[in-house]
Amino acid sequence: MKTMRIIVLALAATTLSGTAVPVLANEKAKVPPVRVEQEDGEEVLVHKGEASFYSHKFHGRTTASGEPMNQNKSTAASRALPLGSKATVTNEENGKSVDVIVNDRGPYVDGRVIDLSRSAAKKLDMIEDGTAPVTVEVKPSEQPTDTARDKVEAKVDQLTPDRQVADRENRRSEGSGNSGGTGSDTVSQSGSGK
């Protein structure tokens, strides 16, 4: 009981001081929802909120994707975006952007939508402040692999009405019919096991 009282008092003190409070293990952080927006005829995942960056102590630790966390690469953690996806993160205060690969899960703090490597945070010029308001965009057409594209499209499908899914399948079929059978512009991954 004494331990619980100490935790409650510590949380209250950090809340009153204006410092972000990490969420306890049995709670879920409140995060703004991911939306789907149209950009140049493409459905794009958009996540707006606050970005933070990894502390030095996480360098070398294993990420959710299985690779070691590397502060020198442009990577990020997101609870909402697919692992392996490429995302463009834009700092809303200064307009600077950076492309990152989502390779980990987190952050677990209310309002935070992405946790960046130190390298990515430097490119957004947010090291001094520690956090920044950002817009995170993930375009299916800009994914580094077919698997990542399929995961992003599956997330778009999850968030959009069935009509838009049918429209994309029709465009994909039309595109493969016009490519002369080479399939260089359109790749079908129907059996990829998303």
- What tokens appear for 30 in the block? 């409140």
Residuewise pLDDT in 10s, the chain (194 residues): 444 444 444 444 333 333 344 444 446 668 899 999 999 999 999 999 999 999 888 999 999 999 999 999 999 999 999 999 999 999 999 999 999 999 999 999 999 999 999 999 999 999 999 999 999 999 999 999 999 999 999 999 999 866 455 666 666 666 655 444 333 333 333 333 33
CB–CB of 192/148 below 8 Å?
Answer: no
pTM for the full predicted model:
0.70
CA–CA separation, 156 and 165 (whole Å)? 9
CA–CA separation, 125 and 152 (whole Å)? 27
- What tokens appear for 190 in the block? 């129907």
